[in-house]
Amino acid sequence: MSRAEVTELVVTRKLEKKLSWGAIAEAVGQSKEWTTAALLGQMTMTEEQALAAARVLDLPADAVVQLQVVPYKGSLPTTVPTDPLIYRFYELINVYGTTFKALINEEFGDGIMSAIDFKMDLTREVDPKGDRVQIVMSGKFLPYKMY
């Protein structure tokens, strides 16, 4: 079973069992954001986490093995995403990327925000004009070093 096949099976079983990502995350013992990323092929699970996911999703043993393999991260099928929701994040970076960079560099100096030492929280913000998506991202600042 390939990693892509595991991802397809995860999504299918989630739908069949009418589970939310949050419910699966609770069984795995991690945040819904990290667990979703892991089950969609972007993070590496421990054996314990993979077994917990397998129990709740009724996954076979070879899926448990694949969930523990270090993935090829950022593996969207195209350079510019075509899915409208994902494209909006691409658009957001195109519009605000230089602003993020300028403000981070002004506040912290020359460096980057880590996507490795990183956490995210996604919640619904109720608004009478239409509910809003609130995403809080927090990454460790990593300064460039002189050598």
Kindly report the CATH number assigned to the domain that includes residue 92: 3.30.1160.10
pLDDT of residue 95: 84
**Residue 3 is a catalytic residue:** no
**Residue 138 is a catalytic residue:** no
Pick the catalytic residue: 47, 48, 88, 138? 88
Structural domain contains residue 79: no
Give the predicted TM-score (pTM) of the model: 0.80
Structural domain contains residue 44: yes
Task: Return the structure tokens found at 29.
Answer: 């013992």
Q: What share of residues in the chain are helix, strand, coil (percent, to 5)?
A: 50, 20, 35
Identify whether residues 89 and 121 lie together within a single domain. Answer: yes
pLDDT of residue 91: 92
pLDDT of residue 29: 98
Identify whether residues 13 and 55 lie together within a single domain. Answer: yes
Identify whether residues 38 and 11 lie together within a single domain. Answer: yes
Residue numbers of the domain that contains 13? 3-68
Cα–Cα dist 76/121, whole Å: 22
Identify whether residues 62 and 90 lie together within a single domain. Answer: no
Pick the catalytic residue: 16, 20, 75, 114? 114
pLDDT of residue 79: 82
3-state secondary structure of 142: strand
Q: What CATH number is attached to the domain comprising 42?
A: 1.10.260.40
Structural domain contains residue 75: no
Identify whether residues 56 and 10 lie together within a single domain. Answer: yes
Cα–Cα dist 82/30, whole Å: 29
Q: What is the pLDDT along the chain (147 residues), one digit of tens a residue?
A: 999 999 999 999 999 999 999 999 999 999 999 999 999 999 999 999 999 999 999 999 999 999 999 988 777 677 888 889 989 999 999 888 988 998 999 999 999 999 999 999 999 999 999 999 999 999 999 999 988
Identify whether residues 126 and 92 lie together within a single domain. Answer: yes
pLDDT of residue 122: 96
Identify whether residues 89 and 45 lie together within a single domain. Answer: no
